[in-house]
């Protein structure tokens, strides 16, 4: 898989195929799985390839170890090299789509440790999130003289505004129980069950009609973030999905009492 380093070095981003699911793992445990240029590029490659492969119907995003899912931007890398530049412009564009929930393949986050700053923003971009009880979540950028520059400031569309403002303005972290209570995560399971549970959810999503899933994913997010644009996109997807071969196959499979065979068209 992808990543940088010398001969024998561990790759900084690892990919694994599990049927229709692509498992993508940030592999920098010594740096709390922080985001550097190699990870940005690796994530972009993994997402771009998944979006281009009709056999990949869901992505699971996780991190190595049980201490940290992702600590956000690698501040050491940032201090030495500044913001990612023109050499990573394409990768950053894909990363921003990830943070904004705009990746066309459904994404399941497997938070096996703390998810803060950019790590938290990646989870906001995931469609479903599984976490372990010891996880902590937050957007502490203001404590470093920054602010959530990705999707963090959209958190008020997901949770009560007063809570969103408290989290961002104080920079304080919340635990997994509070995140579940607020609806930021979907499941809280034992640490050794985080990845299996996330993969099982991804497989369940992947078993459904891909056109229908794509339509539902886009529209649910659009109604929450840009309701004025949602009716037009709904009309578009109604024509695409309800006139598709998959829609007819779904009906036939129901009548014939068999699993559907999706073609994605």
> In Å, how far are 118, 119, 121, 193, 263 from 99, measured between CA atoms?
8, 9, 6, 25, 29
Active site residue 166: no
- Report the largest interatomic distance among the alpha carbons of the chain, rounded to a whole angstrom: 62
Retrieve residue 137's tokens: 């979540």
Give the CATH number of domain 13-206: 3.90.226.10
Domain boundaries defined on the chain: 13-206, 210-256
Return per-residue pLDDT of the chain as tens, 265 residues: 444 444 556 799 999 999 999 999 999 999 999 999 899 999 999 999 999 999 999 999 999 998 999 999 887 776 666 665 556 788 999 999 999 999 999 999 999 999 999 999 999 999 999 999 999 999 999 998 989 988 899 999 999 999 999 999 999 999 999 999 999 999 999 999 999 999 999 999 999 999 999 999 999 999 999 999 999 999 999 999 999 999 999 999 999 999 999 999 9
The closest alpha carbon to 116, from 146, 82, 79, belongs to 146
Q: Which residues pair with 61 in a beta bridge?
A: 24, 109
Over the Cα atoms of the chain, what is R_g? 19
Q: Which of 102, 121, 166, 181 is catalytic?
A: 121
Retrieve residue 172's tokens: 């304080």
The closest alpha carbon to 84, from 39, 123, 117, 48, belongs to 39
Q: Which of 16, 141, 193, 256 is catalytic?
A: 141
Q: Which residues pair with 128 in a beta bridge?
A: 108
The closest alpha carbon to 205, from 16, 23, 24, 57, belongs to 57
Active site residue 141: yes
Q: Which parts of the chain are beta strand (E)?
A: 13-18, 21-26, 58-63, 68-70, 107-111, 114-116, 128-131, 136-138, 174-175, 187-188
**pTM check: above 0.95:** no
Retrieve residue 35's tokens: 């985001």
């Amino acid at each position: 898989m992808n990543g940088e380093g010398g001969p024998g070095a561990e790759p900084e981003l690892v990919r694994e195929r599990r049927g229709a699911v692509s498992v993508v793992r940030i592999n920098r445990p010594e740096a709390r799985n922080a985001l550097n240029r190699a990870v940005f590029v690796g994530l972009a490659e993994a997402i771009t390839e998944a979006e281009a492969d009709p056999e990949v119907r869901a992505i699971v995003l996780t991190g190595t170890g049980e201490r940290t899912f992702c600590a956000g931007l690698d501040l050491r890398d940032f201090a030495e090299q500044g913001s990612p530049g023109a050499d990573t412009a394409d990768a950053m564009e894909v990363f921003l789509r990830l943070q904004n929930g705009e990746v066309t393949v459904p994404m399941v986050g497997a938070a096996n440790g703390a998810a803060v700053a950019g790590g938290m923003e990646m989870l906001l971009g995931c469609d479903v999130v599984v976490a372990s009880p010891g996880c902590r979540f937050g957007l502490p950028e203001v404590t470093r003289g920054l602010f959530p520059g990705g999707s963090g400031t959209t958190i008020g569309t997901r949770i009560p505004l007063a809570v969103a403002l408290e989290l961002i303005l104080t920079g304080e972290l919340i635990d997994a129980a509070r995140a579940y209570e607020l609806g930021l995560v979907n499941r809280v399971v034992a640490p050794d069950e985080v990845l299996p549970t996330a993969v099982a959810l991804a497989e369940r999503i992947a078993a459904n009609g891909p056109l229908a899933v794509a339509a539902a994913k886009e529209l649910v997010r659009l109604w929450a973030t840009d309701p004025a644009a949602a009716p037009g996109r709904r009309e578009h997807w109604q024509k695409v999905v309800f006139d598709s071969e998959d829609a007819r196959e779904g009906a036939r499979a129901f009548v014939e009492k068999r699993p559907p065979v999706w073609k994605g068209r």
